[in-house]
Amino acid sequence: GFDYRLGMVVVIGVSTIYTLFGGMRAVVGTDFIQSLLIMVLLLVVAALAYMRFPSSEVHQALIASHPQRLNLLLPAGLLIAWNSALFSMGEVFHSNIWWSRVFASRRNVVFRSFVLGGLGWMTIPIVTGSIGLLALASKLEVPQVNMVFPVMTAQLLGAGGAALVFIVVFASLTSTLDSLLASTADLLAEDVFLKLFKPEASDRELKLATQWMVVLLGGLTLLLSWPRLDSLASVLFFTGALVASTVWPVACGLYWPTASRSGAIAAMLAGTACGLAAYWLIAPYCAAVLSAAVSAVVMIVASRFWPAEFRWSQLQEEA
C-alpha cells in the first residue's frame, strides 16, 4: 500500500489546491460528488459481500461465536450509538462548515437540503455496521477498527477492491478536509483579520487573506498529521468530548431568550473536562455522552438561576 506520509501529502495537497482556487463553490460541488461516490461504493461492496456470504450464514456464525453482538441493548453498543449521534449533532451545531453553507444557500433550500442530506447519510452507519457484522462472522483479521471496510473489500474484490478502497478513502478524506479548510479560513479571515486587525480591508484584501489562511491551515494540518499518533477512530472518540459539549449551549442560545453567556462558556468547559476524563478513565466511546450530559446540566442551571437577556439585534452589522 501507500506510505502514510505520501498519502497525507497527496490528500492535503489536493484539498488545499482546489479549495484555494475554487473556494466554497468548489468545496460544495466536490463534496456532493464525493458523498454520492462514497454511498454508492459502500452499497456495492455490502451487496457483493452478502452475495458471497448469505445473511442466514452470517447470522448463524454470529450466534455461535459472537451472540452478544446481536443484542440491540448491548451497553457498549448503545454508548457508541449515542456517542456518534451526539458527535454528529455537535458538528452541525458548532462547526462553521455548516453555518457557512447555511449563509451561502438560499432560504428556501436550506431546511430541505439538511433533512435530505441527513437522511441520505444515515445509510452509511447502517451499511458499514452490516459489513462489520460480516467481518466478525467470517473471522476476518482487522488490524484497526476503522479498517473493516478496506480489508473486507480487498478480500472480496482483490486488486479491484483495493482500487475501490483508495477511491472511497481519498474521497472521504478530501471531502472532510476541504470543508474544514474553507470554513476555518473564512472564520479566521472574517472574525480575526477583518474584525480585529484591518476593519477597513477591501474585498480583494479579504479574499487574499482567506487564501493565505487556506495555505497556512493546510500546512499546519500536514505538520500535525505527520507523526501518525493514533487511528482515525480514536481521534473521533477523543474530539467527541469537545464537540458534544457545544450541543446544549448552542441550542439554548438559539431558542432560550435568557440563556446565560457565562453559563454557555462554563457548560462547554465543564462538559469537555468531564468528557476527556471519561475518555481516559472509563472508555473512549462514552466521552461524548458524558460531555453532553454535564454540559446540559450546567447550561440549564446557569440560565435558570443567572439569566441574561439577549437581543439578536446586537449581532446586526452595518451594510
Pairwise CA distance, residues 29 & 22, whole Å:
10
Residue 117 CA to residue 126 CA, distance in Å, equals 15
Find out whether 246 and 39 touch, Cβ atoms under 8 Å. Answer: no
> Which residues make Cβ contacts (< 8 Å) with residue 21, sequence separation at least 6?
none
What's the pLDDT tens digit per position in 152-204? 777 777 777 777 777 777 777 777 787 788 888 888 888 888 888 888 878 88
**Does 233 or 42 have the greater pLDDT score?**
42
Mean pLDDT, the chain, whole residue set: 80
256 pLDDT above the threshold of 70: yes
Residue range 231-258: mean pLDDT, rounded = 83
In single-letter form, the type of residue at position 6 comes to L
Model pLDDT for residues 100-135, shown as the tens digit of each residue:
777 777 778 778 877 887 787 777 778 878 888 888
13-71 pLDDT, tens digit per residue, is 888 887 787 776 667 777 777 778 778 887 887 888 788 888 888 888 888 888 887 77
Whole-angstrom CA distances from 173 to 29, 35, 76, 155, 177 are 15, 11, 27, 22, 6
pLDDT digits (tens, 9 = 90+) for 193-231: 888 888 887 888 888 888 888 889 888 988 888 877 767
The band of 2, judged by pLDDT with boundaries at 50, 70 and 90, is: low
Query: Greater confidence, 143 or 79?
Result: 79
* Rounded Cα distance, 223 and 213, in Å: 15
d(CA 71, CA 62): 11
CA 11 from chain centre, in angstroms, equals 17
Reported as a single tens digit per residue, the pLDDT across 67-90 is: 887 777 878 778 777 777 777 777
Q: Give, in degrees to the nearest 5, the angle at Cα 180 between 225 and 118.
A: 120
